[in-house]
Each structure stands twice: as C-alpha cells, then as structure tokens.
Structure 1
Amino acid sequence: MTATTPNELANTTRADASPLSASYPELVGKVAVVTGAGRGMGAVFATELARRGINVVAGDLDGAPEVADQINEEIAEGGRVVGLRTDVTEPGDHDRLLGAAVDEFGGVDFWINNAGIFPQAEFTEIPPAQLTSTYQVNVNGVVYGAQTAARHMRAHGGGTIVNMASVAAVRVRATRAAYNSSKAAVRHLTSCMAVELGSHNIRVNAIAPGFVDTEMTRWVREDPAALDRALSTVPLHRVGSPIEVFGALYFLLSDSARYITGAVIPVDGGSQHI
C-alpha cells in the first residue's frame, strides 16, 4: 500500500471554501453587530453579511476600522460596514456598538457575539490571569453583548442573537480547560437567554464550530502528522472553512429559522460524536 504524501493529504483534506448558493432576500437592508470582526471568522462574517445586503457594525480590539474600509471598498453594491475599536469586556463598549448601529442605520436586528480567545495550559498550571481573561472575553463579553442587544430589541419588536460556542463545549481536550469551560458556559447561557427572551420575540441560538481553517489552526494544517491526528476525529475527514460556519449563521438570521431558538448548531464535520 502506497503511503500518502503530505501534498496528497493536504489535497484530500483541505477546507471547501466555495461560495454558498443560499439566499435570504428578506435580510437585505437589515442591521447586524459583529464582535471580534477585525480578523478571522468575524471578518468573514462581516464581509459575507455585507455582500448579501446587510449593514454591519464591526467591533474588535484591533483591526475593525481597517476591515470595514476594505469591505466597503470591495463591495460596491451591498451593505455598508462601520468599524469600531471594541473591548468586549467593557459593557460600555457594547453600548457604543449599539449607538453606532442606531446612528448609522437606525437600529439593530441581529447581534453576533463572535469575539473570543483560545488559551492553552496544563490544568495545574493555569495562571489566574489566563482564567480571568478567558472568562472575561468568552463569557462576560457574550453576556454584555447580549444584554445590550436584548434591551434594544425588547423595545423594538424583537431580533436575533447568535453566540459563538464551540465543539469544545462538549468535547474535552487536554490543556484547554479554561477555553472548554468558557464555551460550555456560552452553550448554557444560550439556553438561558432563549428561555428568558423568547416572550419578547428575541431568538437566541449558538454555533459550535469544530476544526476550521483559521489562523488559530494553521500550525496543525502545516504539520502532516498533526493534521492526520486531528482529522482522525472528524468523520468528514477534512478541515471546515469559515464560509461553512457563515452558512449556519446566515440561516439562523433568516426567516427560515424563525421557530428556532435555544439551539446549538454544530459545524464540525461530525467531530462532537467521536
């Protein structure tokens, strides 16, 4: 039996980044806030929403204004993007995002709590600063964003909140206790929000990505042995792409998901089952 070369492995397991054909015309002209939009998945979300006619307020500690300028230059006909420097651990920064959405576009229909960090350390060596920062960004940041969104949506007929959980919320990996537990909290908070906010016509769902082609996973993709180990736990045996995560987000924002709340949609190639 001939061994698989690194190039052959990369060709058979690479992410599928082909465009999505789904279209939800009812979303054109709506307004979304996206945190963590200065790079990676958040930047893809902002770009793809704008490409489909949705106006976006993009927030991040670094890069959001620059990403907004790039998107507006790239997409001549579509939604417009406003970028703000945002620290999601500060409740007032979420108020600033909301204020920008109201001032620029008249309100907010969708709020995507995407900002997050991914620290690693052996359990007995997790420093207090890492635990604090992980929970502040990954948990508190989601709570503050959802609170700001819900107050506005409650007064304006409803809306949709989407939180970014992770397959790590249900699938444990060593050295990731702080991250795993923070995403488990996001998963449960999504249920809590859905129950409390449903009577105000506010839907709250979460997306749980698995092994996705981002800067965070580049080191794995560049090491054939590490890539093979990682993909051995993915039934589809390939890396996911940010556009595939966006597909779940786009659906959750649409009227096709109007009776869905409190759900956590895995976009993980089936890895949560192994």
Structure 2
Amino acid sequence: MTAPNDQANPTRADASPLSANYPELVGKVAVVTGAGRGMGAVFTTELARRGVHVVAGDLTGAPEIADQVNGDLADGGRVLGHRADVTDPADHDGLLHAALDEFGRVDFWINNAGIFPQAEFTEIPPEQITSTYQVNVNGVVYGAQTAARHMRANGGGAIVNMASVAGVRVRVTRAAYNSSKAAVRHLTSCMAVELGPDNIRVNAIAPGFIDTEMTRWVREDPEALDRALTTVPLRRVGAPIEVFGALQFLLSDSARYITGAVIPVDGGSQHI
C-alpha cells in the first residue's frame, strides 16, 4: 500500500492496517445496522477480525456479508446476517433477539444505517424529508432505545451513532441530510446524559470525505477532487479503516470514561 504522502498521489486515502489492539473486545457482541455495504460492512468485517461477534442488520446484503466474513476468517468473531428496516422499531427488537439467541449477550450497538439524498432546498420533496428523518434520525432513536432497554437491565454497554461533518458544516443541496446529522449529534448528547447513570456510554463518529462508493464521483473527477480537498486541512481523502479506528476506540475500555463525545474523522474539515 502506497503511503498517503507518496509523491505520485499525495491525496489518496491511507488504507493501511491499524495496529491498535484492544484484547478486551474479544468475545463481545455487537449489533451493526446498515451492515450490508459501505461503512457498515467495514465495521462488521473489522470487528469480527478482532474477535467480536456481530449481528449485521440491513434491508439487503446482510446475509452475504455474514457469509463472506465467516468464510474468510479461520478464527475471530462470527457474523449473523439479519434483515432489518431501521425505520421499524420491531426490527430493532428482532436484531436484539437474534443476538441473544445466537450469542447470548449484547455489549455494543452501532447505529450506522443512513441515506444521503440531494436536492436544492426549494425543490426538496416532502417524501425526501420524511425518508431522511425516518432512517437517519428515527432509526438512531429506535436502535438506541432497544439497546438501552437491554443494557440497562444487564449492567451497561456502549452505543455509537454515526453523525457526519455535515452536521456542523453546510453542504449545498444536502439540507435534509445536513439537518438529520445535526439531530444525531444532539441526540447523542441527550442519550449520554440520560443513560449515563445506567453505565451506558453513548458517543458518535462524524466522518468527513471518506473513500466510499458515495464519494467515487468526486474522486474520479480531478477538478472536483481538487476543490473538495481545499476543505480538508490534511489534503487527502480518508479511508473507511480510519473511521473504524475511532469506532474501535470508543468501544474499548480505553474510552470507558468517555460519553457524549462526537469524534470527527474528517482530516480537520469541520474547522474550515
């Protein structure tokens, strides 16, 4: 893997493996929503690689991710794929019961599922507002409620929500998305305060410009890439594994006195 400061391509994402090791995570159980592709698939794969058992929930793709990870790993955690619509509270309960039936416990809940719509503000249709908030906000609330009810009765746990740099910076034509992620940031604070006495930690991760399918069109257009990187002080694209690094830390005992935090993984772009 070429280093991120390689002279031939200094803007590429650094996808080199992470060396951080948290042995206390081995044998723990996580639920990951939106696990069928993208960042959720990375979270599922990397958690399993580190010995965490995962229930991977999504409308599509979850069984395939489970089969792939279970087939690739000779040891480590096991993955159970489970269909779930995060806009339905009953489906979150289904994820919980699947985890308990298969693994006997739930330690972590990662509210990762989200959608990324686009429209000029005056042209945003009602259905876009509804669907964006149902997935990006309601889905987080329902997942956290299910997790918290279980964790409250079982000694605590950790919840991680997926926010975004868009929650603090305006992205033109993304008003529905921006505002939904701002809501996730504040919800994270609300949850942390209310659930802290039950030994439930709630934090969020706010990714910026990350090397995913969602950003491929920018990376394939040199002019668009140059414009995008002027808003990133580190002047390169982030890699999904770097977002996972924040997640792994937040789930670990190294973060056991951290709650209500929103960790930016954005190369510093929230400050521009």
TM-score interval w.r.t. the shorter chain? Answer: over 0.9
Aligned residues between the structures: 267
Within 2, Cα distance between the matches of 1:9 and 1:132?
Answer: 46
Residue in 1 that maps onto 2:119: 121
- Shift of residue 76 of structure 1? 1.3
Residue in 2 that maps onto 1:270: 268
Q: Residue 31 of structure 1 contacts residue 105 of structure 1 at CA under 8 Å; is this kept in 2? A: yes
Kindly indicate whether residue 241 of structure 2 is the aligned counterpart of residue 243 of structure 1: yes
Residue in 1 that maps onto 2:226: 228
Partner secondary structure for residue 82 of structure 1: strand
Q: Specify the code of the residue in structure 2 equivalent to 1:144.
A: Y
Within 2, Cα distance between the matches of 1:109 and 1:84?
Answer: 18
1:110-148 per-residue CA deviation (whole Å, 9 max, x = no partner) reads 000000000000000000000000000000000000000
Q: Specify the code of the residue in structure 2 equivalent to 1:45.
A: F
Task: Decide which of 138, 162, 165 is 1:167's aligned counterpart.
Answer: 165
- Shift of residue 40 of structure 1? 0.5
Kindly indicate whether residue 185 of structure 2 is the aligned counterpart of residue 215 of structure 1: no
Name which of structure 1's ranges 10-19 and 62-71 shifts more when overlaid on structure 2.
10-19
1:148-185 per-residue CA deviation (whole Å, 9 max, x = no partner) reads 00000000000000000000000001100000000000
Within 1, Cα distance between the matches of 2:171 and 2:76?
Answer: 41
**Structure 1, unpaired ranges of 5+:** 1-7
Kindly indicate whether residue 92 of structure 2 is the aligned counterpart of residue 99 of structure 1: no
Residue in 1 that maps onto 2:250: 252
1:133-212 matches, cutoff 5 A: 133-212=131-210
Residue in 1 that maps onto 2:37: 39
Q: Residue 9 of structure 1 contacts residue 224 of structure 1 at CA under 8 Å; is this kept in 2? A: no
Residue in 1 that maps onto 2:3: none
Partner secondary structure for residue 11 of structure 1: coil
Within 2, Cα distance between the matches of 1:173 and 1:22?
Answer: 33
Q: Which runs of 4+ in 1 moved over 3 A?
A: none
Residue in 1 that maps onto 2:59: 61
Within 1, Cα distance between the matches of 2:65 and 2:147?
Answer: 23
**Structure 2, unpaired ranges of 5+:** 1-5
Within 1, Cα distance between the matches of 2:113 and 2:144?
Answer: 12
Partner secondary structure for residue 202 of structure 2: strand
TM-score, normalised with respect to structure 2: 0.97
Q: Specify the code of the residue in structure 2 equivalent to 1:159.
A: G
Residue in 2 that maps onto 1:84: 82
Partner secondary structure for residue 9 of structure 2: helix
Q: Residue 167 of structure 1 contacts residue 268 of structure 1 at CA under 8 Å; is this kept in 2? A: yes
- Shift of residue 207 of structure 1? 0.1
- Shift of residue 102 of structure 1? 0.3
Kindly indicate whether residue 9 of structure 2 is the aligned counterpart of residue 20 of structure 1: no
Partner secondary structure for residue 158 of structure 2: strand
Residue in 2 that maps onto 1:109: 107
- Shift of residue 9 of structure 1? 8.9
Within 2, Cα distance between the matches of 1:151 and 1:76?
Answer: 34
Within 1, Cα distance between the matches of 2:26 and 2:82?
Answer: 22
Partner secondary structure for residue 162 of structure 1: strand
Q: Specify the code of the residue in structure 2 equivalent to 1:22.
A: A
1:83-130 per-residue CA deviation (whole Å, 9 max, x = no partner) reads 011100000000000001000001100000000000000000000000
- Shift of residue 12 of structure 1? 1.3
Q: State the identity %.
A: 86
Within 2, Cα distance between the matches of 1:25 and 1:12?
Answer: 34
1:44-88 per-residue CA deviation (whole Å, 9 max, x = no partner) reads 000000000000000011100110000000011000000011100
TM-score, normalised with respect to structure 1: 0.96
Within 1, Cα distance between the matches of 2:100 and 2:141?
Answer: 20
Within 1, Cα distance between the matches of 2:82 and 2:205?
Answer: 24
Within 2, Cα distance between the matches of 1:44 and 1:210?
Answer: 16
Q: Mark the CA change 1:10 to 1:192 in structure 2 (over 3 Å): closer, same or farther.
A: farther
